[in-house]
Amino acid sequence: MEMLVASRNGTKTLTARFDTHPDGTLWYNNMPLIDGESPEARELGKDKLVELVKTRRFIEIPAGCFAKMGLNPSGLLVQRYAEIETEQEAKSKAYLAEHPEVMERAEIDKLLARGRKINDDWSEEADTGKGFSFIAEAEERLKAWRAMYPEAAREEDARELEAQADHEEDIARGALVYDADGDISREEQVNRHREGMAKAANLRVRAAEIRRG
């Protein structure tokens, strides 16, 4: 048995271990992988197909209803999980090769996290100042990164503002329904909502301006 992934239009529909029979059909616990969107399945009808599967009358199911490895006529794609992982890893490496700023930014975050963890652990290592040393190095590298990759830095700043805008909108929506003490008038709730939404809108304008440079 091998781990297979079935997907349609880029969306995974099933991940499981299957046996491949000599005729190319795929089976799990003595049940076949059926392509319910195949022309033969549509002609047979969903109810009839389900009945045949439930009663294990597989011999009565048209051959075209059985999914096979690769791209099936209906668009159902069946791939080996290992192959997908290898393909994704290759794409990731290619992307990082084309975008060194992404890899460097990730390394900076790792360095920051390492320094903060040392400081937070209150260990002997923290007493040596190593945590602050890592943090200082990360901050210097971040300055250099922002200077070397200004477009990526602007995008990071813009996304941070958009995250703040999302937060303001959540608070603004909550203002319309939350009143812990019951002493906030409806008018005040509406005003708080408007103020929060205005703040969010302003943050999104600033984010757009940053992206434009």
Q: Kindly state whether residue 132 falls inside one of the protein's structural domains.
A: yes
Q: Are residues 159 and 139 part of one domain?
A: no
Q: Is the dihedral of CA 199, 202, 204, 207 positive or negative?
A: negative
Q: Are residues 74 and 32 part of one domain?
A: yes
pLDDT at 201: 97
Q: Kindly state whether residue 176 falls inside one of the protein's structural domains.
A: yes
Final residue of a structural domain among 148, 169, 185: 148
Q: Are residues 110 and 61 part of one domain?
A: no
Tokens 């890893």 belong to: 89
Whether the Cβ atoms of residue 11 and residue 1 lie closer than 8 Å to each other: no
Q: Kindly state whether residue 61 falls inside one of the protein's structural domains.
A: yes
Q: Are residues 141 and 168 part of one domain?
A: no
* 184 φψ region: left (φ > 0), alpha (ψ -120 to 50), beta (else): beta
Q: Are residues 187 and 177 part of one domain?
A: yes
The phi, psi pair for 69, rounded to 5°, reads: -65, 145
Measured CA to CA, the distance from residue 42 to residue 73 in angstroms comes to 13
Q: Are residues 109 and 168 part of one domain?
A: no
pLDDT at 127: 65
Token couple for 133: 């040393």
**Domain of 125, in residue numbers:** 99-148
Measured CA to CA, the distance from residue 101 to residue 142 in angstroms comes to 11
Whether the Cβ atoms of residue 65 and residue 35 lie closer than 8 Å to each other: yes
Q: Are residues 109 and 78 part of one domain?
A: no
Q: Kindly state whether residue 121 falls inside one of the protein's structural domains.
A: yes
Q: Are residues 178 and 104 part of one domain?
A: no
The phi, psi pair for 13, rounded to 5°, reads: -110, -20
Which element (helix H / strand E) includes 55?
Answer: none
Beta bridge partners of 31: 28
Q: Encode burial over 174-205: b for 16+ CB neighbours within 10 A, e otherwise.
A: ebeeeeeeeeeeeeebeebbeebbebbeebbe
Q: Is the dihedral of CA 34, 37, 41, 46 positive or negative?
A: positive
pTM: 0.61
Q: Are residues 20 and 71 part of one domain?
A: yes
Split the chain (213 residues) into runs of 10 and give each run's mean pLDDT. 94 94 94 95 95 95 96 96 93 92 95 90 70 94 97 96 96 80 78 94 96 89
Q: Kindly state whether residue 94 falls inside one of the protein's structural domains.
A: no
Runs of H (alpha helix) within the chain: 39-44, 46-54, 81-98, 100-121, 124-127, 130-148, 150-175, 186-212
Q: Kindly state whether residue 45 falls inside one of the protein's structural domains.
A: yes
Q: Kindly state whether residue 26 falls inside one of the protein's structural domains.
A: yes
Residue whose C-alpha is closest to residue 147's, from 104, 192, 110: 104
pLDDT at 135: 94
Q: Are residues 106 and 134 part of one domain?
A: yes
- 3-class DSSP assignment, residue 68: strand
Structurally, the chain folds into a number of domains equal to: 3
Q: Kindly state whether residue 92 falls inside one of the protein's structural domains.
A: no
Final residue of a structural domain among 37, 57, 86: 86
Q: Are residues 193 and 139 part of one domain?
A: no
Query: How many residues are given for the chain?
Result: 213
pLDDT at 5: 95
Q: Are residues 177 and 211 part of one domain?
A: yes
